[in-house]
Homo-oligomer: A and B are copies of this chain.
């Protein structure tokens, strides 16, 4: 299907509607990436790079600082909610209105209307955020062109209902195995019970006191939870194996190595036969003490909240770029059939960013 070129002189709410009307379910972002690339290439103050369906545009003004504005261009599957529809009360309905084509519209508007920002700017538009982590376009750029993502501070325009969500916690999942010796339960003394051997592990978990560290003024809350336990051979057999899967959600002042070392320490002396790392995604520091971030907070107002769940800001953090989420959409309506955004919030968000980048 042919789409008219994107007109970046539209206001950001109208531009959001245009973006929604170019479908871009994960894996089918080509037409939208094309439209974004074409629109950006018309802007003489930007260089534009493309990798697959990921588009990166940058100023090169020699400013002391560089900030990154990033957003994914894909959506979850359409649910009878495309094309977009603006109702009489100023609510824009449609797939991606909140998550996160309204944020992408703000990126494009800043790119088009702030040719001489006080900080060098990098705009990142990436694909496949809504699907498996290994497909994520931001991850692909980070691996293939990490220099494209260089910067002092990054803002992901994910839906946050206009609040700043700083950094994110890391998540580590490990499997703790205990061993025993199989025997008929009528002669239990002939064996050794691997489920009983897991008792100290559960006791440590039950007694664990999670930290609540304050980082850049944000209070994080760690947590160490068993998310699965399994063991047993048959109703009359002393089992020789048991496994407790533990999920450690950790504040971003711990490195992945420190997080793993902490978990090892917690279960020291618990008779763990083997500890297997099942999954590990590091956290991301909010970086709110950086001058660019402080100026950002002053411009957008409000109080930043810590992000407990894992998000793509962590990918910037892994590259040494502190990052926050800040966008016009309401996360409660993301991925829903009745996804929508209050249209007036979109230019509001745009103005806050413009104020920050032109002060």
Contact = CB atoms under 8 A, between A and B. Distances in A.
A206 B196 contact: yes
A239 interface: yes
A195 B226 contact: yes
Given A203-B203, A223-B188, A235 B198 contact: no
Interface in A189-230: 189, 193, 195-199, 202-203, 205-206, 210, 221, 223-230
B189 A199 contact: no
Given A186-B171, A196-B205, A249-B186, A228 B232 contact: yes
Nearest to A239: B227
Interface in A230-261: 230-239, 242, 244-245, 247, 249
A234 B238 CA distance: 27
**A interface, over-half SS:** mixed
A309 B187 CA distance: 8
Nearest to A234: B227
Given A226-B239, A228-B231, A235-B227, A198 B188 contact: no
B236 A171 contact: yes
A199 B206 contact: yes
Chain A interface size, as a band, is: 35 or more
Contacts of A173: 235
B202 A196 contact: yes
Contact of A185 (B195, B197, B227, B231): B227
Contact of A193 (B205, B231, B278): B205
A205 B195 CA distance: 9
Closest 10 CB pairs of A and B: A228-B232, A188-B223, A199-B202, A195-B226, A199-B206, A186-B309, A196-B206, A186-B308, A185-B247, A229-B231
22 contacts: A171-B185, A171-B236, A185-B247, A185-B249, A187-B223, A187-B309, A188-B223, A189-B223, A193-B205, A193-B226, A195-B228, A196-B202, A196-B206, A198-B229, A199-B202, A226-B239, A227-B232, A227-B237, A229-B229, A229-B232, A229-B242, A232-B245
